[in-house]
Chains A and B, each alone.
Chain A
Amino acid sequence: EDKVVQSPLSLVVHEGDTVTLNCSYEVTNFRSLLWYKQEKKAPTFLFMLTSSGIEKKSGRLSSILDKKELFSILNITATQTGDSAVYLCAIRQGGSEKLVFGKGTKLTVNP
């Protein structure tokens, strides 16, 4: 049974559009949620969220966590073709060091 569910699984947009990627989770003893961007190879770290309601922002990307409703969103504004990638959501539980990943959202930004 999937603990981390991402939606949509894929998304195609045009440059300049704003996108919202979703990650819901169902785990006990939640500790943190992380977003990664995976282009052809390594997942590269974007954000780590531990507290509800506090937005993390980096340029055109932002993310927020809702621990009551057990989800997080990743927003990308004014998308560019370089944003095309698979965006991965992962959670960490207390008492464990491992990250549990979702299947990812494949974002394609067309010029």
Chain B
Amino acid sequence: EPEVTQTPSHQVTQMGQEVILRCVPISNHLYFYWYRQILGQKVEFLVSFYNNEISEKSEIFDDQFSVERPDGSNFTLKIRSTKLEDSAMYFCASSEFMGYNSPLHFGNGTRLTVT
């Protein structure tokens, strides 16, 4: 069964450094998402992306965050200057269609630790 793949599985970085989290969505999917889960807390929406542009973003997704689809397969999340509170599990997800009738399929996540 096709799956969403994320790399790396674990990233440790120092505060203030830039990180790029990478994702390969399922190949025929058109909608891409990033979510995060701080340890012990809920899964939270960050951003959705379609047709090479952001279609929706949350309050968490401030100017420190950006997303990009640099080629036909990868989808990346960049955090420009990491803070301690950015430590979390970051999940990439994709869906075949938009919205109500299409479930999201999640990758295994990248655990980001900011020291």
- Contact, CB under 8 Å: B103 / A45: yes
| Cβ contacts under 8 Å, A67 to chain B | none
| Cβ contacts under 8 Å, B56 to chain A | 96-98
- Contact, CB under 8 Å: A50 / B101: yes
Answer yes or no: B87 CB below 8 A from chain A CBs.
no
The interface of chain B, by Cβ under 8 A from chain A, is 4, 31, 33, 35, 41-45, 48, 55-56, 58, 91, 98-101, 103-109
- Contact, CB under 8 Å: B99 / A97: yes
A88-B43, A99-B35 known; 17 other A-B pairs, CB under 8 Å? A36-B106, A41-B109, A42-B4, A43-B43, A43-B91, A45-B103, A45-B106, A92-B99, A92-B100, A97-B31, A98-B33, A98-B45, A99-B45, A101-B42, A101-B43, A103-B41, A104-B42
Q: How many residues of A contact B (CB 8 A)?
A: 24
Q: Which of A19-33 contact B (CB under 8 A)?
A: 31-32
| Cβ contacts under 8 Å, A41 to chain B | 108-109
| Cβ contacts under 8 Å, A32 to chain B | 100-101
With both beta carbons as reference points, the residue of chain B lying nearest to A4 in the complex is identified as B42
Q: Provide the bound-state CA to CA distance between A63 and B89, in Å.
A: 28
- Contact, CB under 8 Å: B100 / A31: yes
Q: Provide the bound-state CA to CA distance between A71 and B17, in Å.
A: 43
- Contact, CB under 8 Å: A98 / B42: no
Answer yes or no: A85 CB below 8 A from chain B CBs.
no
8 A–B pairs (Cβ distance < 8 Å), ordered by A: A31-B99, A42-B4, A42-B91, A42-B107, A45-B103, A97-B31, A100-B45, A101-B44
